[in-house]
Amino acid sequence: MQRYAFKMKLKPGVAAEYKRRHDELWPELARELREAGISDYSIFLDEETLTLFAVQKLSDSNTAASLPNLPIVRKWWDYMAPLMEVHPDRAPVATPLPEVFHLD
């Protein structure tokens, strides 16, 4: 099991809507994330900078890299694109963060 952390960026004035949409996460998307070997997935918001910090656990046999090929993931990206910084294909701009400390 490995931990994977990354950051993303919200647009101003959409934090409540971003949270609402995640509170109502589509069950089929949650299922695909779990089936890809993702667990213990959290997203935190720095309200001053609108930076989102995400951390998740990936199973040793995860298939997370193939998630962008799934229609449900592309649909979610389209749904979330108005709220955050995205690439031209509407994928979130996500910057991986190296782990520098961990305490079990």
DSSP one-letter code for 11: P
The one catalytic residue in 3, 20, 22, 34 is: 22
Q: In whole angstroms, what is the distance from residue 4 CA to residue 41 CA?
A: 9
- Quote the tokens at residue 86: 């995205």
Q: 22 catalytic, yes or no? A: yes
Q: In whole angstroms, what is the distance from residue 68 CA to residue 33 CA?
A: 11
- Provide long-range contacts, Cβ within 8 A and 24+ apart, for 45-50: 45/10, 45/15, 45/18, 45/19, 47/15, 50/9, 50/10, 50/11, 50/12, 50/15
Catalytic residue set = 22
